[in-house]
Amino acid sequence: MFLLILVGVVLHRKFNFNLQTFSNLLIYFLLPVVCFKNIYEADISKETISSVLLYLVIFNLLLIGGSIAISRFYNFDKKLSSTFQNSSVLSNSANFGLPVSSLVFAANPLGLSIQIMIAIAQNILTYTWGFYNSVSASTKGKGVIKKILKLPILHALVLALLFRLFNITIPKPIYGPLETSADAFVAVALITLGAQIAYIHIRSISKLVIISSLFRLILSPVIGLLVILSLGIDGTIAQALFISSSFPSNRSASLLALEYNNYPEVASSVVVITTLSSCFTVTIVIYLSQLVFP
């Protein structure tokens, strides 16, 4: 998996890709296809959906509360606090998380379907809490709601649920290309991720960058594990939730920091360090998830 990220770094440095094209391909085609296919195929009960949603609410509230507490403890200024909180709480559940889950749960659509739910929840969290965390509290929420409703992956989720609800069978001539497209997602997403971090330079590793990286890669999985155990979740669902808690910082945190001039160099450093370090940390969490939740 990390070899594909490296391929993205090397190829982008050599050929200078148009990253917007890759991003559009993922957001408007491959991500919705993967979402539709796995939700359509997976057997997800109401109890499973309820458990996942309850976990996400508790888990994210604890992360947000923890990041705010640390910001106040170190007396960060308002802008620095915003960047620290976004970098620590917002994880790369789509471009990183979905490829990882595709590999881990290759023979189990349920695991990947749960990760899709998490990716959608992260998008909503980014465009609500993450956005308002970066701008003034007086900013109107109308544009945010429009952004959420326009998410292609959300449309794919609704469409897949409707197909399941009405037991609509997709003809093979249509489903075949859909499966082929879904298979391309992992490679394209990881190569794109590599290209995105290819030219991000780390000028210095400050104490803040280290704290945020440790929060994202170590404290987050610990909190995730405790929430899973306290809710009595087990099996594939527990594995998927635990693994998702360990993903690196979301590039959206860096983009928000850049757009509103909230210490963008700090946010980009956290993205690079957590992405590179996740080669080890995510691997360990995947191994532990299979031991703790067989």
Q: Which CATH number does the domain housing residue 14 bear? A: 1.20.1530.20
Asked if residues 69 and 254 have their Cβ atoms less than 8 Å apart, the reply is no
pLDDT, tens digit (0-9, with 9 covering 90-100), for 183-199? 898 888 889 888 877 87
- List residues bridging with 91 in a β-sheet: 249
Terminus-to-terminus CA distance in the chain, angstroms?
A: 23
Range of the domain at 192: 2-292
pLDDT, tens digit (0-9, with 9 covering 90-100), for 243-270? 999 999 988 887 778 777 788 888 888 9
> What CA dihedral angle connects 285, 128, 5 and 287, to 10 degrees?
10
The number of folded domains in the chain is 1
pLDDT, tens digit (0-9, with 9 covering 90-100), for 139-161? 455 566 777 677 788 899 899 98
